[in-house]
């Protein structure tokens, strides 16, 4: 029996420390030949760096609310103010600060990072990661998909994984509804979060520490494209959020 590889993952080696204004698409193209049908996954960290999303804590004037939350979570009140500034909604103030970013992603500390940043600074997430993905995809000028990832914790499960916080050229969700299972039963509710599944595999190859490998390319994946689907749960369908608000 001939076994064909169905999916190849390439770690793009040799990217420098990214600075504001760096052309990430050009840097990657100089190291790796992206082809039609590829899925390029980028750690949000380098996209944010290229977009100049560095801040210093000194630039924040904490509000009374930030001071209060900071006491509860044991963080610097200026850091808390940065989180509040990036957030459209606060879901949990303790034991950690869980918020919805302005672009719709829910995460701890609005995804603001202090690791792999350097110089005592903090790094905000890209302002609109799907817009960043679209811009990068256009400059690559290939019929590829671009996914921007971040490492996140998950409710009900231990350990962090990669998730997609922005995407372009790919549908966030694969719709299996109407397809038949192995016994002929029609599937009714299965939407598969393909961008998260890919982001998670990419995150596995990126590493979390000083590996210096924020770009992964997957080849050989058949992925759905078109449509405007999202992995961000709309608030009116979210059954968990109301309980956090009590
Ligand atoms: P996040 O998951 O987007 O928050 O990013 P991480 O901080 O976990 O970093 C993911 C990967 O990108 C790791 O391999 C880091 O070493 C790498 N990385 C982060 N910043 C840079 C950078 O500026 N240049 C390079 N070459 N790699 C970086
Ligand atoms: Mn991060
Ligand atoms: Mn990470």
Q: Which residues contact 124 (CB under 8 A, 6 or more apart)?
A: 48, 53, 55, 82, 86, 110, 111, 112
Which segments of the chain have a pLDDT < 50? none
Question: Residue 174, SS3?
Answer: strand
pLDDT of residue 208: 87
Q: Alpha-carbon torsion 123, 125, 131, 136, what sign?
A: positive
Count of all residues that appear for the chain in the document = 246
Q: How far apart are CA 104 and CA 100, in angstroms?
A: 6
Query: Which pLDDT tens digit goes with each residue over 186-231?
Result: 887 788 999 999 999 999 999 988 899 999 999 999 998 987 899 9
Predicted pLDDT at 49:
97
Residue 69: both structure tokens together: 């939350």
* Closest atom, ligand 1, to C-alpha of 116: 7
**Probe target for ligand 1 pocket from 162, 202, 212, 214, with the most ligand atoms within 8 Å of CB:** 214
Q: Which ligand is nearest to the CA of 148?
A: 1
Kindly give the interhelix angle for 24-31 and 129-140, rounded to the nearest 10 degrees.
50
Give me the CATH topology for the region 56-124: CofE-like fold (3.90.1660)
- From the CB of 212, is ligand 1 less than 6 Å away? yes
User: End-to-end distance of the chain based on CA atoms, in angstroms?
Assistant: 58
Q: What is the pLDDT of residue 187?
A: 81
> Ligand 1 centroid to 18 CA: how many Å?
9
Whether 25 is in the pocket of ligand 1, judged by its Cβ within 6 Å, is: no
pLDDT in the model for residue 1: 63
Regarding the beta carbon of 46 and ligand 1, being less than 6 Å apart is answered: yes
The DSSP secondary structure of 60-106, one letter per residue, reads ----HHHHHHHHHHT--HHHHHHHHHTEEEEEE-SSS-EEEETTS-E
Give dist(CA 183, CA 180) in Å, integer. 7
pLDDT at 197: 97
Closest CA to 231 of 161, 130, 153, 143: 130
Indicate whether residue 49 lines ligand 1 (CB < 6 A).
yes
Name the pairing type of β-strands 39-43 and 145-154: parallel
pLDDT per residue as tens digits for the range 9-26: 999 999 999 999 999 999
The shares of helix, strand and coil residues in the chain, as percent rounded to the nearest 5, are: 30, 25, 45
- CATH (one of 3.40.190.10, 3.40.640.10, 3.30.1330.100, 1.10.3720.10) for 1-53+129-232: 3.30.1330.100
* pLDDT recorded at residue 188: 79
Instruction: Measure 62 CA to ligand 1 centroid, in angstroms.
Output: 29
Q: Pick the ligand that lies closest to the CA of residue 166.
A: 1
Q: Range(s) for CATH 3.90.1660.10 in the chain?
A: 56-124
CB 43 less than 6 A from any atom of ligand 1? yes
Cα of 113 vs centre of ligand 2, distance in Å, is 5
Query: Considering Cα of 114, then 106, then 224, then 207, what sign does the dihedral take?
Result: positive
Confidence (pLDDT) at 4:
73
In the chain, list all ranges with CATH 3.30.1330.100: 1-53+129-232
């Amino acid at each position: 029996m001939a076994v064909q590889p169905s999916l190849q993952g390439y770690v793009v080696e040799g990217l420098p420390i990214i600075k504001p204004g760096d052309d990430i698409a050009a840097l990657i193209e100089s190291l790796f030949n992206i082809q039609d049908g590829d899925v390029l996954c980028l750690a949000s960290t380098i996209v944010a760096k290229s977009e100049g999303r560095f801040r210093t804590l000194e630039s924040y004037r904490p509000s009374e609310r930030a001071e209060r939350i900071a006491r509860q979570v044991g963080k610097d009140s200026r850091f808390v103010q940065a989180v509040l500034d990036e957030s459209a909604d606060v879901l949990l103030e303790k034991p950690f600060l869980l918020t919805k970013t302005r672009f719709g992603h829910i995460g701890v500390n609005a995804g603001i990072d202090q690791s792999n940043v350097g110089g005592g600074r903090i790094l905000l997430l890209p302002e609109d990661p799907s817009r960043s993905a679209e811009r990068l995809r256009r400059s690559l000028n290939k019929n590829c998909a671009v996914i921007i990832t971040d490492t996140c914790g998950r409710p009900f499960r231990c350990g962090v994984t990669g998730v997609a916080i922005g995407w372009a050229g790919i549908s966030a969700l694969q719709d299996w509804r109407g397809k038949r299972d192995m016994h002929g039963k029609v599937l009714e509710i299965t939407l598969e979060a393909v961008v998260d599944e890919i982001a998670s595999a990419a995150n596995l190859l990126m590493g979390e520490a000083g590996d210096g490998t924020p770009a992964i390319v997957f080849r050989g994946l058949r992925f759905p494209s078109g449509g405007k689907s999202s992995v961000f749960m709309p608030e009116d369908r979210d059954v968990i959020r109301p309980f956090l608000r009590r």
